[in-house]
Amino acid sequence: MNEALREVRVALLEADVSLAIAKAFVARVKERAVGANVLESLTPAQTILTIVHAELVELLGPPSGSPQARLRFADAPPSIILLVGLQGSGKTTQAGKLALRLKEGGRRSLLVAADVYRPAAIDQLQTLGKQIDLPVFERGTSNPVRIVREGIAEAKRLGLSTVIVDTAGRLQIDDALMAELAEIKMVAQPQEILLVADAMTGQEATNVAKGFHDRLGITGVILTKMDGDTRGGAALSIHSVTGAPIKFVGVGEKLAALEPFHPDRLASRILGMGDALTLIEKTQSVYSEEQARKLQEKLRKQNFTLDDFLEQMRQVRKLGSMTDLLKMVPGLSRALPKDFEIPERELTKVEAIICSMSRGERQNPDLLNGSRRKRIARGSGTQVSDVNRLVKQFEQARQMAKHLGGKKRRSLLPLRPSS
């Protein structure tokens, strides 16, 4: 048990959970694990991991869809949502993402530009407002408290249901920032004060969250940059010190890249167990069941061509970086080296090579003799060795598909009665 818990503690620290919280968590798990029954199908270490996962899920807060995790709205509009956080955490972008999410749910919002200190913050919010077709209220670099007061009045005049306030941040917490935010809170009387926290902040996330919560009383958290290589241990630290639920996670730069928070998935990610459900959801967003069926049929009939290969590669690249996708696969995430990365330029090179082929060559790679390969290399800005490697890998993949398809067909043959 001690050996298993040591691995758990290391996993937590690698995921940027603060040392104090990691120690307290391991102690709590040890207390619960002592004397626990080991199921027949599990080893003691697996039993402990099951307990650890369940404890993590519980500690990370309420799941998406629960009353505590939902945004709270006022009985009479407009509902006020303040976004607070340090400079660089992504407040302005999250304001646009949140407004788009609410709009898709039938609530139109007014975005209020109350960050009067960061250069181009107002312009950025206006650009986001145009992209999602929602109004932005700004009064230049005047007093932010007055801007918020007038913005709320404007939302009432326009009959909008929600006001999202993009407040100023600092490089670190200071009294001037907190005094201004406290005054804005008093004027706005918000239903939600959401801390926008960078998941890559690491163990400093604990101090940041505590500083904002002690002065403002945050009601929820948006964790950003969860599409990177961070495991998201900051979520555990933030929820532990504030008790505020994590309501959303930012998983990309696009305005639609804001997802509800799922504690069970993040628990698996923190422990290095992958995130299969998120991977499945990402795949379903760009790849339909009909497309999968057609691909399976092509592989079965040996009709899979370089055209098909190029289409599949482009679909996969829509999901994000290959490195991040592989880390979501259970088992692979911990097996991969810490510095593992698939260079995106290699995928770009493959695409350039295939696009430099004629349609006939893509349909039938057997046509690719020496002179054709030299032409393709010149056209794609690569070496002949790169073309050779791609063709060889494609043929190996096709042979593997043929082998698997043959095994499947044989397994479906009816058993013959013995003579």
pLDDT in tens, 250-295: 877 788 888 888 777 777 767 665 544 455 555 555 556 666 666 6
Which one of 231, 262, 293 terminates a domain?
A: 262
Greater model confidence, 45 or 394:
394
Please give the share of the chain, as a percent, with pLDDT higher than 70.
73
Which one of 262, 290, 306 terminates a domain?
A: 262
The verdict on 157 and 302 lying in the same domain is no
Predicted local confidence at residue 403, as pLDDT: 62
Predicted local confidence at residue 385, as pLDDT: 92
Residue 19 lies in a domain: no
The verdict on 99 and 210 lying in the same domain is yes
The verdict on 227 and 123 lying in the same domain is yes
The verdict on 307 and 191 lying in the same domain is no
The verdict on 172 and 306 lying in the same domain is no
Which one of 212, 229, 262 terminates a domain?
A: 262
Domain containing residue 238: CATH number:
3.40.50.300
The verdict on 166 and 288 lying in the same domain is no
How large is the average pLDDT for residues 337-349?
A: 69
Predicted local confidence at residue 259, as pLDDT: 84
With 0.75 as the threshold, say if the pTM is over it. no
Residue 41 lies in a domain: no
Predicted local confidence at residue 78, as pLDDT: 93
Predicted local confidence at residue 109, as pLDDT: 94
Confidence of residue 130 (pLDDT cuts 50, 70, 90): very high
The verdict on 326 and 372 lying in the same domain is yes
Predicted local confidence at residue 19, as pLDDT: 83
Q: Label each residue of the chain as H, E or C.
A: CHHHHHHHHHHHHHCCCCHHHHHHHHHHHHHHHCCCCCCCCCCHHHHHHHHHHHHHHHHCCCCCCCCCCCCCCCCCCCEEEEEECCCCCCHHHHHHHHHHHHHHCCCCEEEEECCCCCCCHHHHHHHHHHHHCCCEECECECCHHHHHHHHHHHHHHHCCCEEEEECCCCCCCCHHHHHHHHHHHHHHCCCEEEEEEEHHHHHHHHHHHHHHHHHHCCCEEEEECCCCCCCCHHHHHHHHHHCCCEEEEECCCCCCCEEECCHHHHHHHHCCCCCHHHHHHHHHHHCCHHHHHHHHHHHHCCCCCHHHHHHHHHHHHCCCCHHHHHHCCCCHHHHCCCCCCCCHHHHHHHHHHHHCCCHHHHHCHHHCCHHHHHHHHHHHCCCHHHHHHHHHHHHHHHHHHHHHHHHHHHHHCCCCCCC
Please give the share of the chain, as a percent, with pLDDT higher than 90.
27
How large is the average pLDDT for residues 68-77?
A: 85
Domain containing residue 342: CATH number:
1.10.260.30
The verdict on 143 and 178 lying in the same domain is yes
Domain of residue 99 covers 79-262
Greater model confidence, 174 or 126:
126
| Mean pLDDT taken over the chain | 79
Residue 184 lies in a domain: yes
Domain count, the chain: 2
The verdict on 161 and 202 lying in the same domain is yes
